[in-house]
Amino acid sequence: MTMLGELVSFKRILNGMEVETTNGRLILTFLRPKIVRVKALRKGGSEPPPNPTVPERSWPPIQLEISR
């Protein structure tokens, strides 16, 4: 697991929002209230990540993890 860092306040996160972390860019998609799916966008390359989504995680804590 690679920790991508913590996000700002939950209230400031919007559906489909693209956020940037130290390890790259992410797109957040809410499946249900308080459940989010994360899609990673790799920096400067066309090759997609091997596992672009992470399992559903509830809030809090507001942390994102992705398997590499």
Tell me which of 48 and 28 has the higher pLDDT. 28
Closest by Cα among 2, 3, 1, 20 to 61: 3
How does pLDDT run across 7-22, given as a tens digit for each residue? 544 444 555 566 666 5
Averaged pLDDT for residues 36-52: 56
| Number of structural domains the chain divides into | 1
pLDDT above 50 (res 46):
no
- Domain with 59, as residue range(s), is 2-66
Burial group, residue 1, by CB count within 10 angstroms (0-12, 13-18, 19+): exposed
Tell me which of 59 and 37 has the higher pLDDT. 37
